[in-house]
Amino acid sequence: MEERLHKALARLGIASRRHAEDLIRQGRVTVNGRIVTAMGIKVDTEKDMILIDGRPLPLPAPLIYALLNKPKGFVTTLRDPQKRPIVTDLLKDISVRVCPVGRLDYDTEGLLLLTNDGDLSFKLQHPRFKASKTYEAEVKGRPAKQAIDYLRNGVIIEGRKTQPALAKCLRKGEKSSLLEITIREGRKRQIKKMCAAVGHPVLNLRRTAFADLKLGHLAPGQYRLLHPEEVGKLKNYITLQTQGRQDAKNG
Ligand code: URA
């Protein structure tokens, strides 16, 4: 696949696009033995011999997919101005840089996928692909059937109705109840806002499934790497979501 030299260097994680442009301008990059200083040149990183300061490009990092049970008390951003603990601190044995796919609140626990596969991460987060997210929400009080119906059909949060969701009550108590809610949107603090909107604020929140991945028996703070078959299924999931949309359009 041909692409612009500076973009190829950025994609391979050699440098940011701007830094790659500087390297090219400074005459430090050769393609098939020739110094290249023009910006527009296209290369195929599998066929062309590209050297920087006379050295070949490092091999691309292997793709890593880690499924973490995020504990409460960790942020899912990679830098926190308040210096709170960061989820990647928990991935002790992973030396490549991975990023969380989406976010969970500081006080939410549960399934968080982390990867360096930028393409899959983008698709799983893009509203177009509608990846499903299932949560167990311990809420205050004892929701009536009508409240559950509202959660299913859509409630207004910040002036906009939420899309249809799956919602059911797993346990009912006087003081608190346990709801299971599946959504396909990714609005900020969506579950807390939906439950608050029907009069049952969230006390505890845990994500139990994401796309076709399940949290399983991982303890909070533990993670495991996905098996290649699971990665294949995840990619199929995205393809099926796209096809579903196509079929709905054509049908
Ligand atoms: N909805 C929320 O309110 N919080 C989360 O962390 C995830 C979904």
Residue-wise pLDDT for 65-76, tens only, equals: 999 999 999 999
Q: Which two tokens stand for residue 217?
A: 């028996």
Distance (Å, whole) CA 126 – CA 122: 6
Q: Is 53 a catalytic residue?
A: no
Q: How confident is the model at residue 17 (pLDDT cuts 50, 70, 90)?
A: confident
Q: What is the pLDDT of residues 217-233, one digit of tens each?
A: 999 999 999 999 999 99
To test the pocket of ligand 1, the residue of 75, 106, 108 to mutate (highest count of ligand atoms within 8 Å of its CB) is: 108
Comparing 118 with 35, the larger pLDDT belongs to 35
CATH class of 65-128+215-246: alpha beta
- Our answer on whether the CB atom of 206 is closer than 6 Å to any ligand 1 atom is no
The answer on pLDDT for 28 being more than 70 is yes
Residue that the structure tokens 């108590």 belong to: 173
Start-end of CATH 3.10.290.10 domains in the chain? 3-56
- Range name among 49-63, 127-141, 142-156 with the lowest pLDDT average: 49-63
Q: What is the pTM of this model?
A: 0.80
Was domain 132-210 assigned CATH 3.30.70.1560?
Answer: yes
pLDDT (average), residues 20-33: 94
Strands 42-43 and 55-56: unpaired
* pLDDT at residue 209, as a whole number: 98
Question: DSSP secondary structure string, the chain?
Answer: --EEHHHHHHHTTSS-HHHHHHHHHTT-EEETTEE---S--EE-TTTS-EEETTEEPPPPPPP-EEEEEEPTT-BSSS--TT---BGGGG-TT--S--EESS---TTEEEEEEEES-HHHHHHHHSGGG---EEEEEEEES---HHHHHHHHH--EETTEEPPP-EEEEEE--SSEEEEEEEES---TTHHHHHHHHTT--EEEEEEEEETTEE-TTPPTT-EEEPPHHHHHHHHHHHHHHHHHHHHHHH-
pLDDT (average), residues 31-42: 92
- Range name among 28-42, 50-64, 87-101 with the lowest pLDDT average: 50-64
Nearest CA to ligand 1 atom 7: 104
* pLDDT at residue 248, as a whole number: 56
% of residues, the chain, pLDDT over 70: 96
* pLDDT at residue 184, as a whole number: 96
Ligand 1 atom with the smallest distance to the CA of 192 is 3
* pLDDT at residue 250, as a whole number: 58
Catalytic residue among 44, 53, 105, 107: 105
pLDDT (average), residues 2-22: 84
The answer on pLDDT for 251 being more than 80 is no
C-alpha of residue 105 to centroid of ligand 1, in Å: 6
CATH class of 3-56: alpha beta
- Our answer on whether the CB atom of 105 is closer than 6 Å to any ligand 1 atom is yes
- Range name among 17-26, 36-45, 208-217, 242-251 with the lowest pLDDT average: 242-251
Nearest CA to ligand 1 atom 3: 189
- Our answer on whether the CB atom of 108 is closer than 6 Å to any ligand 1 atom is yes
pLDDT (average), residues 30-54: 93
- Our answer on whether the CB atom of 192 is closer than 6 Å to any ligand 1 atom is yes
Start-end of CATH 3.30.70.1560 domains in the chain? 132-210
* pLDDT at residue 228, as a whole number: 96
The answer on pLDDT for 241 being more than 90 is no
pLDDT (average), residues 19-47: 93
pLDDT (average), residues 115-142: 93
Start-end of CATH 3.30.70.580 domains in the chain? 65-128+215-246
- Our answer on whether the CB atom of 123 is closer than 6 Å to any ligand 1 atom is no
C-alpha of residue 174 to centroid of ligand 1, in Å: 24
* pLDDT at residue 167, as a whole number: 98
